[in-house]
C-alpha cells in the first residue's frame, strides 16, 4: 500500500469558533435560531446545557460528520463529532482536503496516541493549555494515497472500537445486574422498605481510620512495600493495589494501621464525587485519615455491607457536615443505621457477587486485549505500516482477489455455531492475524452474549423496557431473544416462566383477550416494580 507523509496543515485546514454574548442565548429552539455547541454538549448530553443563538452569517457552523477539536484547558485535544450547529471559541473545526484525506481516516489520526501526545505537549508549554493553527503545522502524518485504502483502514479501526464499546457496556451491565438483585432481595437499605431489623454500623462492625506519615521523611516512610490507600482509590469497587507504598517504620511512627483483606473503606473527605464512596480491600493495606475503615465482623457479611453502603451513596453524601468543606466523620459513619437481613440471605448475595466477579474478570481481560489490539492497529495504520488485504465471499467461500497476497484464514472450530457465524463475517481488511483476532472476539461476543439467563432479569427488562402497550407472547419471545444473555432460553422455558408469573399473588403482569385481533394479550400492571 503506497503512503505519503504530509504536514497536517498541508492536507487539512482549520476554522475557529464564534462566541455570541450569553445574553443573546435562548434555551428553546426557534425559527431563525441555530444550536450553539459547547464541549459539554458532546461529553455530558444533558438537556439543560442546550442553547440556541440567532442564525447569522457571522457564525461559524459545523455538520454532524465534521470533526472538531477541543482547544483549551482540560478538554484540549478532545475529538468531538456527531452534532450540527454553530460552535464556540473553545472548539476548532477541521476542514480536510477530501481529495487527499478521508474524514473517517482523519478521525482516527486525531484520536491516535501520536496526535494526542503531540497536542498535550504543546498545551503543557502554554500558560493555559491550548494550541493554534501554527502549532498544528508541526504535526506530520502518513496518508495512504488511495482514499479507498483510507476507508478500509477506518473500517478496521471502527470495528475494533465497536468491540471495545460493547465489552465496556457488558461490564456496566454486571453492575446493573448486581444492584437489581440487591434491591430485589433486600429492598432500599436507607428506606428499609422490607422492614428488616436495624443497628448502627458501630454496633455490627469496628469503625476505625488511618493516618498520613510525614512527607518530610519521604525516604524513610514512602519507599516501602505496605499498600497505603487514599480516597482517590475508593471508587465503588474492589481495591487490589494502591499507588503509594509505605514502610513499617511509617506504620510505627504515625497513626497508620494495617487493615485486613475485606475491610471496607468509606471516603469521608474528598473533592467532586469522592466523598461518600466506598471500596473494599482485597489486600492487606493501611489507609489515610480521610477514610473510615470498617473491619470484618462475624455480625454481618462484609460483601452485603459493602453493597448496602454503595447503594446508599446519595444518602451518605447528604449527611456531610462542616463550614467551608462539608465532610463525613467517624461519628456520622458509626451511627448510620444499617439493615440486617437474615444472614443466610446475605450469604446468598455474596455467592452471586463472587460469580459475577468471575465474569467481570473475564470481561476485563478481554477488554484489555481489545485495547491492546486497537492500539496496535492504530499505530500501524497511522504510520503507513498496515497492509490492507481485500477479500470477498463468493458462494460461501473466501476467495482472494487477484494481485492480493495472503493465506485464507484458518477458522478455529470452537463449535459448529461459532464456526458458521465466523464464516459469515466479511474480512475486516486487516492483516490475517489481526483480522482473525477481531472476528474471533466479535463471534464470541455475538454467540456467548453477556450474562447468564436469569428470570428476574427478564422481568426487570420487561417492566423497564419497551412494553408500554399490550403485547403478545410472540412479541415477548422476540424481545427476549435480543436480551444480552450468554444463551437464549428455549421457547417452552419462557412460556413456563410466563405462566409462573401470571399465577403469582400480586402478579406484575396479567392477560386479556383482544376481541378485534382474537389474540391473548399481556399487560404490565401499573403497580409493577422491577
> Using an 8 Å Cβ cutoff, are 196 and 338 in contact?
no
Question: Is 290 part of any domain?
Answer: yes
Query: Hey, what's the cell of 445?
Result: 461476543
Among 320, 340, 360, the domain-final residue is 340
206 alpha carbon, distance to own chain's centre? 34
* Residue 512 within any structural domain of the chain: yes
Phi-psi region of 521 (alpha: psi -120 to 50; beta: other; left: phi over 0): beta
CA 381 vs CA 146, 149, 195, 273, 426: distances in Å: 13, 10, 60, 38, 20
Gap between the Cα atoms of 502 and 97, Å rounded: 62
Q: What is the Cα 252 distance to its own chain's centre?
A: 41
CATH number at residue 468: 1.10.10
Could you give the CA distance from residue 181 to residue 194 in angstroms, rounded to a whole number? 14
Q: Could you please report the per-residue DSSP string of 1-25?
A: --EEEEEHHHHEEEEE-----GGG-
All cell numbers assigned to 376: 496496535
Angle at 489 between CA 484 and CA 493, to 5 degrees: 140
Backbone angles phi, psi at 26, to 5 degrees: -125, 165
Residue 332 lies in a domain: yes
Q: At which of 282, 317, 340 does a domain end?
A: 340
Are 338 and 266 a contacting pair, CB within 8 Å? Answer: no
Same domain, 8 and 141: yes
pLDDT tens-digit series, residues 341-397: 999 999 999 998 988 888 788 778 877 877 877 787 777 777 767 665 444 333 333
Instruction: Tell whether 208 is covered by a domain.
Output: yes
Helix axes 432-448, 416-424, angle to 10 degrees: 120
429 within domain boundaries: no
Same domain, 212 and 333: yes
Neighbours of 96 (CB within 10 A): 20
Q: Quickly tell me which residue has 382474537 as its cell.
A: 518
Give the torsion sign (CA, 295, 299, 303, 304). Answer: negative
Q: Write down which residue in 82, 112, 145 finishes a domain.
A: 145
- How far is the C-alpha of 468 from the C-alpha of 462, rounded, in Å? 9
Higher model confidence: residue 143 or residue 494? 143
Three cell numbers, residue 150: 483510507
- Report residue 234 as a C-alpha cell: 475508593
Q: pLDDT of 287-311, one tens digit each?
A: 999 999 999 989 999 999 999 999 9
Q: Band the pLDDT of 329: cuts 50, 70, 90.
A: very high
User: Grid coordinates in use for 154?
Assistant: 477506518
Judge if 221 and 136 occupy the same domain. Answer: no
d(CA 84, CA 315): 39
What is the total count of domains within the chain?
A: 3
> What's this model's pTM, rounded to 2 decimal places?
0.63
- Looking up residue 243, the CATH number of its domain turns out to be 3.90.220.20
Beta bridge partners of 278: 266
Do 238 and 133 fall within a single domain?
Answer: no
pLDDT for the residue numbered 528: 61
Averaged over 171-185, what is the pLDDT?
Answer: 84
Question: 163 and 371 in contact (C-beta within 8 Å)?
Answer: no
Residue 191, pLDDT > 50, answer: yes
Q: Which pLDDT score, from 0 to 100, does residue 484 have?
A: 64
| Domain that residue 459 falls in | 455-524
Dist. CA 507–CA 520, nearest whole Å: 17
Q: 227 pLDDT exceeds 90?
A: yes
| Residue 369, in any domain of the structure | no
> Which tops the pLDDT comparison, 289 or 510?
289
Better-scored residue on pLDDT, 132 or 224: 224
Written as one string, the DSSP assignment of 453-473 is: --HHHHHHHHHHTT--S-B-H
Strands 519-524 and 509-514 come out as antiparallel
Helices (H), 12-146: 39-43, 103-111, 113-125, 133-136
CA-atom Rg of the chain in angstroms: 28
Answer yes or no: is 374 within a domain. no
**280 sits in which H/E element:** strand 278-281
Q: What is the pLDDT of residue 334?
A: 95
What value does the mean pLDDT of the chain take? 81
Q: Which H or E element spans position 227?
A: strand 226-229
**Residue 274 and residue 267 in contact, taking contact as beta carbons nearer than 8 Å:** yes
CA 468 to chain CA centroid, Å, is 28
Give pLDDT, residue 449.
46
Clarify whether residues 101 and 208 are in a common domain. no
Q: So what's the pLDDT on residue 399?
A: 34
* Domain-located, residue 173: no
What are the cell numbers at 324?
Answer: 467551608
Nearest Cα residue to 217 out of 183, 250, 242: 250
Distance CA 237, CA 278 (A): 7
Looking at the fold, whether 201 and 336 belong to one and the same domain comes out as yes
Amino acid at each position: 500500500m503506497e503512503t505519503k507523509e504530509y504536514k497536517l496543515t498541508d492536507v487539512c485546514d482549520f476554522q475557529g469558533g464564534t462566541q455570541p454574548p450569553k445574553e443573546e442565548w435562548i434555551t428553546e429552539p426557534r425559527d431563525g435560531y441555530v444550536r450553539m455547541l459547547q464541549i459539554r454538549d458532546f461529553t455530558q448530553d444533558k438537556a439543560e446545557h442546550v442553547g440556541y443563538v440567532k442564525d447569522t452569517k457571522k457564525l461559524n457552523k459545523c455538520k454532524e460528520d465534521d470533526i472538531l477539536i477541543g482547544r483549551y484547558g482540560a478538554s484540549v485535544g478532545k475529538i468531538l463529532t456527531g452534532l450540527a450547529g454553530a460552535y464556540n471559541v473553545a472548539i476548532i473545526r477541521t476542514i480536510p482536503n477530501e481529495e487527499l484525506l478521508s474524514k473517517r481516516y482523519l478521525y482516527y489520526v486525531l484520536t491516535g496516541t501520536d496526535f494526542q501526545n503531540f497536542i498535550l505537549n504543546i498545551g503543557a508549554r502554554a500558560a493555559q493549555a491550548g494550541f493554534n493553527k501554527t502549532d498544528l503545522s508541526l504535526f506530520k502524518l502518513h496518508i495512504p494515497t488511495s482514499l479507498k485504502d483510507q476507508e478500509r483502514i477506518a473500517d478496521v479501526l471502527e470495528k475494533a472500537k465497536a468491540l471495545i464499546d460493547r465489552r465496556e457496556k457488558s461490564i456496566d451491565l454486571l453492575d446493573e445486574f448486581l444492584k437489581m438483585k440487591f434491591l430485589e432481595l433486600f429492598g432500599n437499605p436507607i428506606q428499609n422498605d422490607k422492614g428488616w431489623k436495624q443497628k448502627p454500623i458501630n454496633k455490627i462492625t469496628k469503625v476505625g481510620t488511618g493516618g498520613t506519615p510525614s512527607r518530610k521523611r519521604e525516604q524513610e516512610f514512602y519507599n516501602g512495600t505496605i499498600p497505603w490507600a487514599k480516597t482517590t482509590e475508593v471508587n465503588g469497587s474492589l481495591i487490589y493495589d494502591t499507588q503509594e507504598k509505605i514502610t513499617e517504620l511509617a506504620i510505627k511512627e504515625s497513626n497508620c494501621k494495617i487493615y485486613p483483606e475485606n475491610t471496607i473503606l468509606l471516603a469521608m473527605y474528598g473533592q467532586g464525587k469522592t466523598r461518600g464512596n466506598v471500596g473494599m480491600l482485597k489486600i492487606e493495606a493501611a489507609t489515610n485519615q480521610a477514610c473510615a475503615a470498617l473491619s470484618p465482623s462475624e455480625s454481618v457479611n462484609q460483601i452485603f455491607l459493602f453493597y448496602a453502603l454503595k447503594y446508599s451513596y446519595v444518602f451518605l453524601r447528604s449527611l456531610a457536615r462542616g463550614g467551608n468543606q462539608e465532610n463525613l466523620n467517624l461519628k456520622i459513619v458509626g451511627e448510620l443505621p444499617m439493615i440486617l437481613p437474615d444472614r443466610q440471605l446475605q450469604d446468598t448475595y455474596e455467592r452471586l457477587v463472587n460469580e459475577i466477579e468471575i465474569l467481570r474478570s473475564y470481561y476485563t481481560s478481554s477488554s484489555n486485549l481489545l485495547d491492546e489490539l486497537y492500539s496496535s492497529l492504530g499505530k500501524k495504520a497511522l504510520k503507513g505500516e498496515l497492509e490492507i488485504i481485500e477479500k470477498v465471499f463468493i458462494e460461501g467461500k473466501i476467495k482472494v482477489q487477484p494481485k492480493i497476497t495472503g493465506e485464507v484464514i484458518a477458522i478455529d472450530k470452537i463449535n459448529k455455531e461459532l464456526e458458521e457465524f465466523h464464516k459469515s463475517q466479511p474480512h475486516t481488511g486487516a492483516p490475517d492475524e489481526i483480522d482473525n483476532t477481531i472476528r474471533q472476539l466479535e463471534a464470541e461476543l455475538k454467540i456467548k452474549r453477556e450474562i447468564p439467563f436469569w428470570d428476574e432479569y427478564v422481568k426487570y427488562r420487561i417492566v423497564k423496557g419497551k412494553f408500554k402497550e399490550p403485547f403478545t407472547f410472540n412479541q415477548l419471545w422476540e424481545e427476549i431473544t435480543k436480551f444480552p444473555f450468554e444463551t437464549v432460553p428455549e421457547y417452552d422455558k419462557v412460556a413456563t416462566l410466563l405462566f409462573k408469573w401470571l399465577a403469582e399473588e400480586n402478579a406484575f403482569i396479567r392477560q386479556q383477550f383482544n376481541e378485534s385481533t382474537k389474540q391473548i394479550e399481556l399487560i404490565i400492571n401499573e403497580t409493577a416494580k422491577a
